[in-house]
Structure 1
Amino acid sequence: MDWGKGIILTLVAFGILMIGMVTFCIKQDDIHLVTQNYYEEEIKYQDQIEKMINASEIGYNVLVYDSQLKKVDLLLPKGAKGTLHLFRPSDARLDQKIAFDITETNASSINVKDLKPGYWRIKLSWSEDGKEFYEEKKINI
């Protein structure tokens, strides 16, 4: 075999490899954005910062994750209303949003046993007495 055939075979092999990689990338359908309306949420981020400051002024964690019982406790006062967002960064199809309204003074619990094991972010947004709050916790199930 001479140099000409070797170079041509190398270029053909490289071309086939590139076509295969492009085909593989095009066929992937499980690519998810963190959020669909990214720019709108970026503009609203100053409000989010103010909510986080309000939550830090409370002085205790309102989100408590029990890894043994696989549950999340919401230590919120009576009259608090909001949403709990169970956020899976690797797959947006697994995300869940749970609305809540605390009517009793006992701690509310959310069972997370049925969630797919792995890395999750728990995002808690709530309001009480006309004031908005936000807290986030990272957990591994």
Structure 2
Amino acid sequence: MNWGMRIVIGMAIAMSSIVAVGIYMVNQDTDTLEETDYYEKGLDYERVYKKKENLVRYQRKVTLNVVRDSLVLSFAEENNKGMVDFIRSSNRSLDQRIHFITSKSVYRLPIKNLKKGVWHIKLDWESQQRSYLQEEQLYLN
């Protein structure tokens, strides 16, 4: 067999494998960009956007400070009600949600049960008939 024939056979194998992979991908039912509940998520996005907009418009950003084994939340106003989500990207089973009601502008959350590392904090609360949402990264060591 000469070199020309080997090149033609190699190109034919390469082209047929590309076509086979293309056919396989087209026949797959799953599409990772498609969501079944896109309408509900769209409605929820409006709510989330409004809460984040309120945070900026009314300047209600909460200060987060770690003091020993507590997370101190310092609000701009008194009488707050809401929840804090502790989200661990690396392990979903460690995620926690803590509900709170405060009469003062400072609230302490115990965090001694949280593992060390990076946490995504979602703070969703109401104060004075307005809803707010703040997201922060927190590193516990």
Instruction: Tell me the TM-score normalised to structure 2 length.
Output: 0.63
Aligned CA distance change for structure 1 residues 41 and 74 (closer, same or farther; 3 Å): farther
Q: Is the 8 A contact 2:65 2:73 kept in 1?
A: no
Deviation, structure 1 residue 72: 2.0
Cα distance in 1 for residues equivalent to 2:89 and 2:37: 14
Aligned CA distance change for structure 1 residues 48 and 121 (closer, same or farther; 3 Å): same
SS at structure 2 position matched to 1:44: helix
The one-letter code sitting in structure 2 at the alignment partner of 1:136 is E
Q: How does 1:1-141 map to 2 (within 5 A)?
A: 39=38, 40-59=40-59, 61-66=61-66, 69-76=68-75, 77-103=77-103, 105-141=104-140
Cα distance in 2 for residues equivalent to 1:38 and 1:118: 32
Equivalent residue for 1:22? Answer: none
The one-letter code sitting in structure 1 at the alignment partner of 2:64 is V
Deviation, structure 1 residue 73: 1.8
Q: Is the 8 A contact 1:80 1:101 kept in 2?
A: yes
Cα distance in 2 for residues equivalent to 1:92 and 1:107: 29
Cα distance in 2 for residues equivalent to 1:93 and 1:113: 17
- Structure 1: state its 5+ residue gaps: 1-36
Q: In angstroms, what is the RMSD of aligned CA positions?
A: 2.2
Q: Write the deviation string for residues 65-110 of structure 1: whole angstroms up to 9, x where unpaired.
A: 32x625322223322111111111111111111111112x251111
SS at structure 1 position matched to 2:47: helix
Cα distance in 2 for residues equivalent to 1:113 and 1:97: 15
Q: Is the 8 A contact 1:63 1:72 kept in 2?
A: no
SS at structure 1 position matched to 2:48: helix
Instruction: Tell me the TM-score normalised to structure 1 length.
Output: 0.63
Q: Is the 8 A contact 2:79 2:105 kept in 1?
A: no
- Structure 2: state its 5+ residue gaps: 1-35
Structure 1 segments, 4+ long, off by >3 Å, are: 37-43
Cα distance in 2 for residues equivalent to 1:100 and 1:140: 22
Aligned CA distance change for structure 1 residues 108 and 52 (closer, same or farther; 3 Å): same
The one-letter code sitting in structure 1 at the alignment partner of 2:128 is D
Q: Which has a greater percent of strand? A: 2
Q: Is the 8 A contact 1:127 1:133 kept in 2?
A: yes
